[in-house]
């Protein structure tokens, strides 16, 4: 097995929904139910504030859906929650079944597989990350993954796959 393919499978371990979506998206007849065009996250942590008021996070998301672009903002308990809330503001209007979907588990891992890097910045917090999300709609569970150099980009990719997986059979375009 080629090294690149092994790496893809390693990154997709536990995330078969993302693996299947990669295949489905290559089909000419597949219509992507939405496209996240841009995402902006403003996160502030105040360590002097009381525990329940430490994080203030707002995310704005630009989504293309049914040929129109919608820009929406939402708050949350951290960047992942804020992005998820913002996306759902748009998507649940068009796809009410997404209200059933919950992110049940969220795991972030650094990917350096014991490799030796010439630059210390590529190790630790500067290295690529894999975000694994386990979603459920109360009937089915599925795992998705996001991989990127940036933890927020990987997190958003994971959420996109989790929501798109639920909609993979929809053809509302």
CATH code for position 112: 3.30.160.340
Domain of 159 in residue numbering reads as: 1-29+99-173
Query: Which of the pair, 115 or 158, is modelled with greater confidence?
Result: 158
4 plus 74 within the same structural domain: no
103 plus 23 within the same structural domain: yes
Bridge partners for 65 per DSSP: 68
Render the burial of 63-96: b for 16+ CB within 10 Å, e for the rest.
Answer: bebeeeebebebebebbbbbbbbbbbebbeebbe
Report the number of distinct structural domains present in the chain.
2
The pair of structure tokens assigned to 162 is 């989790």
Per-residue confidence (pLDDT) for residue 88, from 0 to 100: 97
pLDDT band at 55 (very low <50, low <70, confident <90, very high): confident
pTM of the prediction?
0.82
Report the pLDDT averaged over residues 151-172: 89
Per-residue confidence (pLDDT) for residue 116, from 0 to 100: 47
173 plus 122 within the same structural domain: yes
104 plus 70 within the same structural domain: no
Among 42, 34, 43, which residue's Cα sits nearest to residue 62?
A: 34
Q: What angle do CA 43, 48, 49 make, to 5 degrees?
A: 70
83 plus 48 within the same structural domain: yes
Report the pLDDT averaged over residues 146-153: 92
39 plus 13 within the same structural domain: no
Residue 6 reports pLDDT greater than 50: no
Contact predicate 152/41, CB 8 Å: yes
């Amino acid at each position: 097995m080629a090294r690149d393919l092994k790496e893809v499978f390693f990154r997709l371990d536990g995330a078969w929904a993302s693996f299947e979506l990669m295949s489905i998206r290559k089909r000419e007849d597949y219509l992507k139910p939405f496209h996240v065009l841009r995402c902006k996250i403003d996160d502030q942590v105040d360590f002097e504030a009381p525990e329940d008021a430490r994080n203030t996070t707002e995310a704005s998301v630009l989504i293309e859906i049914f040929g129109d672009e919608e820009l929406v903002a939402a708050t949350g308990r951290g960047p992942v929650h804020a992005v998820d809330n913002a996306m759902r503001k748009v998507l649940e209007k068009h796809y009410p079944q997404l209200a059933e979907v919950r992110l049940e588990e969220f795991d972030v891992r650094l990917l350096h597989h014991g490799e030796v890097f010439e630059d210390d910045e590529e190790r630790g917090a500067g290295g690529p990350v894999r975000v694994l999300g386990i979603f459920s709609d109360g009937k089915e569970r599925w795992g998705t993954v996001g991989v990127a150099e940036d933890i927020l980009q990987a997190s958003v990719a994971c959420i996109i796959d989790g929501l798109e997986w639920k909609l993979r059979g929809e053809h509302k375009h």
